[in-house]
Amino acid sequence: MVKGNLFHYRKNSWPPEEYVNRTTLQLVSSSSPSSHLLDFDSGAPPQHAWRRKLNSQAGILKEFSVTFMEALKMMRLGIRLWSYVREEASHGRVTLQTSLCAVFLKPQIILFLTVINFRYLQRAPIDPFNREGKPAATQGVPLGGMGSGSITRGFRGEFRQFQIIPGACEPSPMMANQFSIFISRDGGNKKYASVLSPGQHDGTGTDQGLSSWGWNLSGQHSTYHALFPRAWTVNLTQSSKCHAVKFHHFYLIITEIVVFLPLFLFTRGEDGVSGVLLHHKTAKENPPVTFAIAACETQNVNVTVLPSFGLSEESCVTAKDMWGKMGEDGQFDRENFNNGATFPSSAGEANCAAVSASTWVEPNGKCTVAFALAWSSPKVKFMKGKSYHRRYTKYYGTSERAAEDLVHDALTNTKADGSNGSSLTNSSEEDEAEVPERDDSRNPPSRSHDDDEDVGSFLYLEGVEYIMWCTYDVHFYASFALLELFPKIELSIQREFAKAVLSEDTRKVKFLAEGNSGIRKVKGAVPHDLGTHDPWHEMNAYNIHDTSKWKDLNPKFVLQVYRDFAATGNQSFGTEVWPAVCAAMDYMDQFDRDGDCLIENDGFPDQTYDAWTVHGISAYCGCLWLAALQATAAMAVQLEDKTSAQKYKSKFLKAKRAFEAKLWNGSYFNYDSGSSNNSKSIQADQLAGQWYTASAGLPNLFDDAKIQSSLQKIFDFNVMKVRGGRMGAVNGMHPNGKVDETCMQSREVWAGVTYGVAATMILAGMEEQAFTTAEGIFTAGCRLYPDPRSYSMHLVPM
């Protein structure tokens, strides 16, 4: 095993007790003015979390636009991109209106209500011409997770960003999706009912019956707490006296769908889990979805259900009737459990169901009420027809009734897989993640590694606006977290790309930036992504540039493989991917134009900064290449390939001499070796290769003085000369202290790059500069959820 310091600075992000599963959370912490009423609960929100009052206004983000000169340069690209989007639309890959219901997990002493109008987005992988509204800092921690899809709850209580179908996202909030609470006291003479979201919002018109609900919460005493992957909403009321209070805790689901199959009721008497199953059939032959919503009945908690009500005035039971029933009685009729399945809804009709839990809370007392949601959509179908089974079906099967078992296990804290303790809905980012097994009609991908290493095939998106699975150039920045948390999944992704390196796809593709054509996948080249409409089989959905000519993807592949190999000590993994490593390195020889063993860029944006032109040798790609040469030599030693070890060591030493001779200017490495007006710019990412080298425990690429001098230059210019260090590291700076305005990307601040720079500083012993740099990007995004990928140096988030 290769020894390194990859995890030298690793610390637990939670106290150990924070890993304990909790069915509910205490309403107040010990620091609250009301802490004398309730004992401290370690499940309460942690001290360090992202917080917002519910009456805070969600900030609208200012978007910066291109300059006049940039617009001229990109005019032809814009025309080609517009034509491409039109072509995709002609093949049916356009926005398609349908609906989908969704539900959420583990509310507190509250009622949850949801109406979901879901748009199934089948569109071009890159489409800047169609989007839903302006971006705003409105989101929170997503619910659901890896392999299941996700739904996000905004900090003010609205539910948005619905992602159940891969690549499909409905970003707009559905204001009927709310938590609510019903309280009665003094023998029922005093009653209170309110939606737990401040104010009455758009979408609560009389046609949906929502205006009849109580929108009484000011939000002044309600706080949203987020510390991924968990979130808390604490609602406090001011009261001078303690009374016995009857709480009616209510979890409600309303589903607006095209075709709504029967709704089934279920109850498990042995452990008190009761709830509803909602079966949903999607449009265009997409896989069906079944949702389960349930609560736990105990000696002190009574669970009842309302099998059906509607949003229109013509419904037998309307939304207004439901609200009135709860406000008056605090529960539904127990006989509803005997009603059986409901009838299917008609097209366009909103059929709704509710689960209620009510309990008495004595003065100075407390009560835990547990709700849970699970959804089962066992099959994943992509646009071009291939379908797969999600990973969890290995444990729960493919029946639509699996949702009942999932929600039961969520409430009873039963592990989804008794052998390894994997949870039934592991958390992820806003990205859709699939860990599928192939459908019976498709052959599974060939795997030569042991069954113990087979965790399925994994896909994720870098963002919902960028519908390409596993974009590898930015996986370079994000993969450290995956390696630490889910190392087998990280190795699985690397195996997929290793297999892709050795593959070829000769289908013709038109590249939009230059207007030229080429083949989709060149053998030996690392793909930019695993595809969009037919992942694994139709890679490189990105078609702005021909990425087979990019200079950073192959070195990034080699560096990630070596880092993962060094961190896990998995010898079989190293042996398996070694042929792809060698092929990726040999492929790059064609870009060494002068025989100095150093690759050259080709006068266009041939790397992840795909609007930033590079001429000749570049600090970014050149440093990555040096690191890849050294990593390949080190990996060859570990695999006892002495010939390759000597080959790549010799090339590394020769390339290093050329790199330093052509780019080192005495204090940092120039942007490139060309003669353009930005060739001497200070690039924040110039030591990306050194970052990986030090993280994997390899010898430094350069002497300590050069590394620290470069990092200090980046800190003094790219960090401290932009808003006093309060925004992170801007990508490019001229040596005169002015931001490089060559293109959009040169004047942007990228979160992943900034954290990478900070990590490099830590590894170089510059901790003070490192944490100042990291603090800047953290502070810039601390008022936002989610954190944008990039900022313009001209703008601070609003």
Q: What integer pLDDT is reported at residue 110 of this predicted model?
A: 26
CA 266/CA 339 separation, integer angstroms: 11
Asked which of 282-286, 502-506, 581-585 is least confident by mean pLDDT, the reply is 282-286
In this prediction, residue 793 carries a pLDDT of 55
Asked if the model's pLDDT at residue 647 lies above 50, the reply is yes
Cβ atoms of 140 and 157 within 8 Å: the answer is no
| 160 DSSP β-pair partners | 152
- Residue 100 has a pLDDT of 26
User: 28-42, 70-84, 775-789: which has the minimum mean pLDDT?
Assistant: 28-42
**What is the predicted pLDDT for the residue at 300?**
83
Return the H-helix or E-strand segment holding 454.
none
Share of the chain above pLDDT 70, in %: 70
pLDDT in tens, 289-322: 888 888 888 888 888 888 887 777 778 888 888 8
444 within a domain of the structure (yes/no)? no
When mean pLDDT is compared over 10-14, 124-128, 511-515, the highest value belongs to 511-515
| SS3 assignment, position 692 | helix
The answer to the question of residue 573 being in a domain is no
Where is pLDDT greater, at 433 or 623? 623
Task: Quote the CA–CA distance of 798 and 789 in Å, as a whole number.
Answer: 15
Question: pLDDT tens for residues 594-636?
Answer: 999 999 999 999 999 999 999 999 999 999 999 999 999 999 9
Rounded percentage of the chain residues whose pLDDT exceeds 90: 38
Place of tokens 């003015």: 33
Tokens of 159: 């539910």
Which of the pair, 341 or 739, is modelled with greater confidence?
Answer: 739
Q: Which pLDDT score is estimated for 150?
A: 85
Helix, strand or coil, per DSSP, at residue 217: coil
What tens digit of pLDDT does each residue of 761-781 get?
Answer: 999 999 999 999 999 998 887
The token duo for 271 is 């452990």
Residue 450: what pLDDT? 58
Q: Kind and range of the H or E element at 96?
A: strand 95-97
pLDDT tens digit string along 491-544?
Answer: 999 999 999 999 999 999 999 888 889 999 999 999 999 999 899 999 999 998
CB 469 within 8 Å of CB 463: no
Read off the pLDDT of residues 441-476 as tens digits, 9 standing for 90 and up: 344 454 455 556 678 889 998 877 788 899 999 999
Closest of 738, 720, 741, 740 to residue 729, by C-alpha: 720
Q: How far, in Å, CA of 4 to CA of 8, rounded?
A: 8
Q: Which residues contact 738 (CB under 8 A, 6 or more apart)?
A: none
- CB neighbours of residue 460 within 10 Å: 20
At 126 the pLDDT is 55
Confirm whether 175 is domain-assigned: yes
Statement: residue 428 has pLDDT above 60: no
Q: Three-state DSSP class for 512?
A: coil
Output the pLDDT for position 519.
96
b/e per residue, 466-484, with b = 16+ CB within 10 A?
bbbbbbbbbbbbbbbebbe
Lowest-confidence region among 137-141, 559-563, 775-779: 137-141
Contact 152, 142 (CB under 8 A): yes
Domain that holds residue 140: 96-412
Q: What is the Cα–Cα distance from 100 to 623, expressed in whole angstroms?
A: 48
Residue 112: closest CA among 104, 124, 102, 120: 104
What's 434's DSSP letter? B
Q: How confident is the model at residue 560 (pLDDT cuts 50, 70, 90)?
A: very high
Q: Whole-angstrom Cα distance, residue 708 to residue 351? A: 64
pLDDT higher than 70, residue 340: no
Residue 393 is encoded by which pair of tokens? 């079906």
Number of domains comprising the chain: 1
Sign of CA dihedral 396, 401, 407, 409: negative
Query: For the chain, what is the mean pLDDT?
Result: 77
549: its two tokens: 């000519």
Structural domain contains residue 104 = yes
pLDDT of residue 481: 92
pLDDT of residue 655: 98
How far is it, in rounded angstroms, from Cα 724 to Cα 27?
39
Predicted pLDDT at 504: 98
Quickly state the pLDDT bin for 412 (edges 50, 70, 90): confident
Per-state percent for the chain, helix, strand, coil, to nearest 5: 30, 20, 50
Separation of alpha carbons 35 and 25, rounded Å: 14
pLDDT for residue 208: 59
Position with higher pLDDT, 37 vs 55: 55
Of the given ranges (97-106, 258-267, 292-301, 559-568), which has the lowest mean pLDDT?
97-106
Residue 285: band (very low, low, confident or very high) from pLDDT cuts 50, 70, 90:
confident
Helix (H, G, I), strand (E, B), or coil: what is residue 683?
A: strand
Within a domain: 208: yes
Q: How many CB atoms within 10 Å of residue 87?
A: 12
Question: Which one-letter DSSP state was computed for residue 388?
Answer: E
Give CA separation, 616 vs 516, 593, 763, in Å: 22, 10, 29
Helix residue ranges, H only, 202-334: 319-329
Q: Which residues partner with 233 through β-bridges?
A: 224
pLDDT value of residue 678: 94
Residue 786: cis peptide before it, omega within 30 degrees of 0:
yes
| Position 369 in a domain | yes
Kindly tell me if the per-residue pLDDT of 432 is higher than 50.
no
Q: 460 Cβ partners below 8 Å, 6+ apart?
A: 428, 429, 431, 432, 433, 469, 470
Q: What pLDDT does residue 5 have?
A: 31
Residue 220 CA to residue 77 CA, distance in Å, equals: 49
Q: What's the pTM value of the predicted model, to 2 decimals? A: 0.81
Task: Evaluate whether residue 578 is within a structural domain.
Answer: no
**Between residues 572 and 133, which one has the greater pLDDT?**
572
Is residue 2 over pLDDT 50? no
In a domain, 561, yes or no: no
Band (pLDDT 50/70/90 cuts) for residue 362 is confident
H/E segment holding residue 112: strand 111-113
| H/E segment holding residue 519 | strand 517-521
pLDDT in tens, 671-696: 999 999 999 999 999 999 999 999 99
